[in-house]
Amino acid sequence: MSADTAPIALRDLGVCFEGAVPSTIATASADGVPNVTYLSKVHLVDDDHVGLSDQFFSKTNRNLAENPYACVLVFDPTTYDQYRLLVRYERSERQGRLFDRVDRDIEAIAALTGMAGVFKLRAVAIYRVLEIEAVEA
Amino acid sequence: MLEPSLVEHLESDGTLLVGTVDADGIPEAAYAWALAVLDPGDSAGPPVVRFLVPERATRTRANLATTGRIAATVTDVETLVSAQLKGRVRGVEPSTPADGRACRRRFDAVMANIHEVEGTAIDVLERFRPGPVVAVTMAVEEVYDQTPGPVAGSRLAPTVETP
């Protein structure tokens, strides 16, 4: 992103959080071993935070316990514009409105992919978004 | 050693994600293309694979030059069956004309799969086409099942010590 480009606000990327195109997350362990995998959906929490569902991301979770930084790629499903989010893990929520919303989303996505009942939401991990950058097409 | 069925998956027309990390521990994700298994590995040495990274993936390329640690995940677009390779870079070199052809062919095949499975218009997917690429050779140390579900993260192949 060039210095004279207007900063991108998280709210500007609302369509990227509808779950139409899988997102991507890269993490790294304390000793510098990366891990990269897909996410079915990134959830917009507020102007500064996103939420990721904690289900089977065992290695991702272990990495985040050691190194809280992650790189998340999200897509605009209408244009395939790609955005890179640098995020830092802050906390996990195991109940409440956000948890219930994410739980419903997971069940809906699981049903669409023939995996109903396979995914059990354990927590919603909340991340502060540190940087947003459009990835050059 | 990479079993033939795994080699077939790795060289299939699935998506390829690459994870790297910088010297400060900041991870980076990028799409890559056209993974080929150069050597499935044996008792004499680790498996070696080669794939193409867009030149514009500047952080990924910088990370490969500094820390050299790589994770590469290949996912079948329809079944979501995924395998993740972990290892170290052996080399980064300019791509050849043959690489360019392989990249175009693999991109077209992957996007055709996404179009068929997801219904995404081809002209929209075309925006995702990589420009110039560099070729990355990777020594594989570990292989994991990354298919969504309870088995995600289980090891598929034993660790191989690299020289």
Distance CA(B67)–CA(B62), nearest Å, equals 9
Range of the domain at A81: 10-135
Q: What is the per-residue pLDDT for B37?
A: 97
- Is A73 domain-assigned? yes
Nearest to B69 among A25, A34, A79 (CB): A34
Number of neighbours of residue A34 by Cβ within 10 angstroms: 26
Q: Which amino acid, one-letter code, is at B162?
A: T
> Does residue A4 have a pLDDT over 70?
no
SS3 content of chain A, % helix, strand, coil (to 5): 25, 40, 35
Burial class of B135 by CB neighbour count within 10 A (0 to 12, 13 to 18, 19+): buried
Give the ipTM: 0.91
Give the number of A-B residue pairs with CB atoms closer than 8 Å: 113
> Does residue B163 have a pLDDT over 80?
no
Mutate to test the interface with B, among A71, A88, A112, A135 (most CBs of B within 10 A): A71
Distance CA(B22)–CA(B60), nearest Å, equals 9
Q: A17-27 pLDDT, tens per residue? A: 988 888 999 99
- Is A41 domain-assigned? yes
- Pairwise pLDDT comparison (B163 vs A40), residue with the higher score: A40
The domains located in chain B, with CATH, are 4-146 (2.30.110.10)
Provide the CATH number for the domain around residue A33: 2.30.110.10
The pLDDT of B32-49, averaged and rounded, is: 94
- Is A4 domain-assigned? no
Q: What is the per-residue pLDDT for A127?
A: 95
Q: Any idea what DSSP says for residue B42?
A: B
- Whether residue B117 lies within 8 A of chain A, CB to CB, comes out as no
Q: Which amino acid, one-letter code, is at B111?
A: M
- Whether residue B110 lies within 8 A of chain A, CB to CB, comes out as no
The pLDDT of A83-103, averaged and rounded, is: 93
Q: A27-47 pLDDT, tens per residue? A: 999 999 999 999 878 999 999
- Is A118 domain-assigned? yes
- Is A70 domain-assigned? yes
The pLDDT of B55-62, averaged and rounded, is: 96
Q: Are the CB atoms for B73 and B17 separated by under 8 Å?
A: yes
Nearest to A34 among B56, B71, B128 (CB): B71
Contact B127 A81 (CB under 8 A): yes
- Is A2 domain-assigned? no
Residues 6+ apart with CB under 8 A from B36: B11, B49, B50, B51, B102
- Is A1 domain-assigned? no
Q: What is the per-residue pLDDT for A7?
A: 87
> What is the count of structural domains for chain A?
1
Q: B78-114 pLDDT, tens per residue? A: 888 999 999 999 999 999 999 999 999 999 999 999 9
Q: What is the per-residue pLDDT for A109?
A: 73
Q: B135-161 pLDDT, tens per residue? A: 999 999 999 998 877 677 788 765 555
Distance CA(A70)–CA(A87), nearest Å, equals 5
- Reading the block at residue B44, the tokens are 């004499």
Query: B 56-85 residues with CB below 8 A of A?
Result: 56, 67, 69-73, 75, 80, 82, 84
- Is A87 domain-assigned? yes
